[in-house]
Structure 1
């Protein structure tokens, strides 16, 4: 039986603070990602570029954030969700396993929030595993419609017999998406409190890892002052068993 270690993390575009107190955290996030020692890292709010911030911060990385955060030996996949005045950002996946293919679907519910799904196919110990990285909307009705679109996407792109992981920032503070996700055959760590937001005093379980065709083994959220400084979210790390 193969155990897959999966992490999901909203990195807040690698920058924390406001105004003169704004600081670049992307260099600290590199070490954070390494500490996960995860086979698969699902990231949200990842910048591809931002012309204004690149000029403001002298130590802005030359690489896009997905490539910069990718540990040695990992492959990175990035897809844009939102295009803004100065740049663009979206979801990314970093994988210790071989990437066989990737795709993207726009699930924006209205013009004020640009949202998307990143779908990556991985070869894990000779078996195809699908991973979908999500970042859902701030309004519950939007999230419900986005889960419906996720279901249509899965039905179209992921054969029922192939293992599937769906991870990311669901913005689901009321746990109202557990049932519709279960209707898609996707289960998470229910009965375990794993709050990830806000990072300084985590109260809300916004970040989740769901699976179909894999058995949840364990999950935890790292805590401490260093973690609370790097992003407004804390990461969630889980172990999933790939059943033969």
Structure 2
């Protein structure tokens, strides 16, 4: 099997702190994404632009955050979920492998939380792998409806036999998401939890990578003071085995 390394990371819009004490972390995050050394990086709370922050910080990148964070040779895919007074932000995916197609679906449950699914098809070792980047709502009832919408989306848009990864910030530390995705044969790593939030003292796991048609091999969460400063979440890195396509039998 070929190894596929996947990371998911809520980058908190590249800024930490509040008010005049807030600090720009997007440059550190650029180095961090390189250190993840992942084939596929799923990102949440990624800014396309923010006019207020661009004026506040002298080193604000001219590129969108998805493009800025993409290591050399990676493709960046971004789609806006939320429009704000000063800009817009959403989900992104960075891929070491060629991007075949992508689309977005709005899963906003109420007007106070604008959310979306980013669906990207990537060609990995000659196989089409579907990746869905998610960031679910803060309210449990909203998450239940968003998971149901995710299930309908997968059934409609992803071929049943195609390898599938669903990754992101699920905002859920109970069993709601686990039960729902298990029912559609999407599995995550069992056993011990891997806390990702809050980054300074991680107590709960909000970030997951679910898979169908791939073999789970291992999962890790980077630790240390540097990681705890860059966002309110820690990244989660998961490795999977991608079965090779068996050649068709010779019928001659």
Aligned counterpart, 2:170: 170
DSSP-derived class of the 1:177 partner: helix
Distance 2:50 2:200 in 1: 26
Instruction: Describe how 1:164-203 pairs up with structure 2 within 5 A.
Output: 164-203=164-203
Is 1:236 the counterpart of 2:236? The answer is yes
DSSP-derived class of the 1:52 partner: helix
Is 1:91 the counterpart of 2:91? The answer is yes
Distance 1:95 1:5 in 2: 11
Q: Which runs of 5+ in 1 are unaligned?
A: none
Aligned counterpart, 1:69: 69
- Structure 1 consecutive aligned stretches of length 4 or more whose deviation exceeds 3 Å: none
Quote the offset at 1:218 in angstroms: 0.0
DSSP-derived class of the 2:227 partner: helix
TM-score, with normalisation over the residues of structure 2? 0.96
TM-score, with normalisation over the residues of structure 1? 0.99
Distance 2:199 2:95 in 1: 25
Instruction: Describe how 1:41-120 pairs up with structure 2 within 5 A.
Output: 41-120=41-120
1:144-195, CA deviations, whole angstroms, 9 ceiling, x for partnerless residues?
1101000110011100000000000000122321010111110001212100
Q: 1:192 to 1:243 in 2, by over 3 A?
A: farther
Distance 2:47 2:192 in 1: 31
Is 1:131 the counterpart of 2:131? The answer is yes
Aligned counterpart, 2:18: 18
Distance 2:238 2:208 in 1: 9
Quote the offset at 1:21 in angstroms: 1.2
DSSP-derived class of the 2:152 partner: helix
- Superposition RMSD on alpha carbons, in Å? 0.6
DSSP-derived class of the 1:202 partner: coil
DSSP-derived class of the 1:47 partner: strand
Aligned counterpart, 2:218: 218
DSSP-derived class of the 1:54 partner: helix
DSSP-derived class of the 2:160 partner: coil
Distance 1:42 1:235 in 2: 10
DSSP-derived class of the 1:238 partner: strand
Distance 2:8 2:217 in 1: 16
Question: How many residues of Structure 1 are paired with residues of Structure 2 in the alignment?
Answer: 244
Instruction: Name which one, 1 or 2, has greater alpha-carbon Rg.
Output: 2
Quote the offset at 1:23 in angstroms: 0.2
Quote the offset at 1:129 in angstroms: 0.2
Distance 2:37 2:45 in 1: 21
Distance 2:233 2:6 in 1: 16
1:78-128, CA deviations, whole angstroms, 9 ceiling, x for partnerless residues?
000000010000000000000000000000011110000000000011100
